Amino acid sequence: MKTKLPAVVAAILTTAERAIADDKLPRAMALADRASALAPDDPAVGALIQKVTEGNKSTQRRRVLAIIGAGAVLAGGVTVGAMKLFGGASSTSNAAVLDDTIGSNPSRDDAGIASPTDADAVALIADASLIAPREDAGLVAVREDAARVARRADAGLVAMAADAGVPSHRDARPDAAPLVPPVDAAVQLAAVEAFGAIVVKNDTWCDVSIDSGAPSRISSKPIKVPVGHHVVTCAQPGLGKQWTREVDVAAGGVVTVAGALLGTVTVTLGIDASIDGVAHRRGASIQLKANRYEVIAGDGKAFLDIRVSCTLRTTPELGCY
């Protein structure tokens, strides 16, 4: 069978030369590729490949390389057609038959491959050493580049189609919060101005309650209350002392209420003394709030609780009797 290989190669070369002459470079490239697979070391095959790759302008060569993949698909049909020529009488007649076979109906080529009567073709196909393809590295690179470009183009179209779709509820962020309309500044100001404050003053300790609410110990801090009318109570639980005031609180305003729980007593001085730093002469009578005072007389000093009217003297000791 190998003795018929030169005739097949010669027929392919002749057909390729004719394709070059007819300016059919894709066809010539496919034939050169097949000839290289059958006879890689044949000088005539090398010359054909050189002639095909350099026989046209660079732009035409790039176009040929881009469609080389399609030519490779047809190469199998070309090989079978060439093998059918093994029984021919001359290289010229083989070339004529092969020329008719290249580019013919693919279904007819497939029928030739599957024909069980073509023993030579079947035997040659079984000989892997004769038909093992030897792809040129440059051609393979071009084919791979073309395939990658096609895949990228397809991916781009798919992405564009996906982007063009109408978003579904599944595309929405699960944590997306609904938009909250901005609060009107006037509404905020009105909310602030809907409150005022009350400051309670007393001459001694007491528990303060507003509108019969929970009592708290008196302090100098303002007590925040809603705008309107309020009742303020200052009381000393267990002592039975308290006072009550009614006030009206305006928006953003502060109202001060004052009272006293300490009674007034008369103190007569039987000696010269100072009370809470104020000097008084012997025989004087003064009005004081019932409370605790610092009293200094001569070399004596004492803190006295004055709750009722009394006379201040030093015998039997410094006190108010």
pLDDT in tens, 44-98: 888 888 887 776 544 455 554 556 644 544 554 544 444 544 444 444 444 444 4
- The pLDDT of 1-24, averaged and rounded, is 81
CA angle 273, 274, 277 (to 5 degrees): 170
Q: Please name which of 261, 186, 176, 253 lies closest in space to residue 222, comparing C-alpha atoms.
A: 253
What pLDDT does residue 184 have? 61
Question: Cα–chain-centroid distance for residue 113?
Answer: 59
Query: Which one has a higher pLDDT value, 118 or 7?
Result: 7
* Average pLDDT value for residue range 7-26: 86
Q: Which amino acid is at 196?
A: G
pLDDT tens digits along 135-188: 444 444 445 555 564 455 455 544 444 454 444 545 445 455 555 555 566 556
Nearest in space to 223 (alpha carbons), one of 208, 234, 237: 208
Cis peptide before 40 (omega within 30 of 0): no
Tens-place pLDDT, residues 281-294 = 999 999 999 889 99
The answer on pLDDT for 27 being more than 60 is: yes
Query: Worst-scoring range by mean pLDDT, 46-55, 120-129, 149-158, 298-307?
Result: 120-129
Query: In angstroms, what CA-CA distances link 228 with 48, 225, 247, 252, 282?
Result: 109, 9, 8, 11, 53
Answer yes or no: are the C-beta atoms of 256 and 201 closer than 8 Å.
yes
Q: Which one has a higher pLDDT value, 35 or 242?
A: 242
Pairing mode of beta strands 216-217, 310-313: unpaired
Chain centroid to Cα 228, Å, comes to: 51
Residue ranges of domains in the chain, CATH in brackets: 2-149 (no CATH), 194-259 (2.60.40.10), 264-320 (no CATH)
The yes-or-no verdict on residue 33 having pLDDT over 90 is no
Give residue 16's pLDDT band: very low, low, confident or very high (50, 70, 90): confident
Query: CA end-to-end span of the chain, whole Å?
Result: 152
Given this model, what pLDDT does residue 58 score? 46
pLDDT at 22: 85
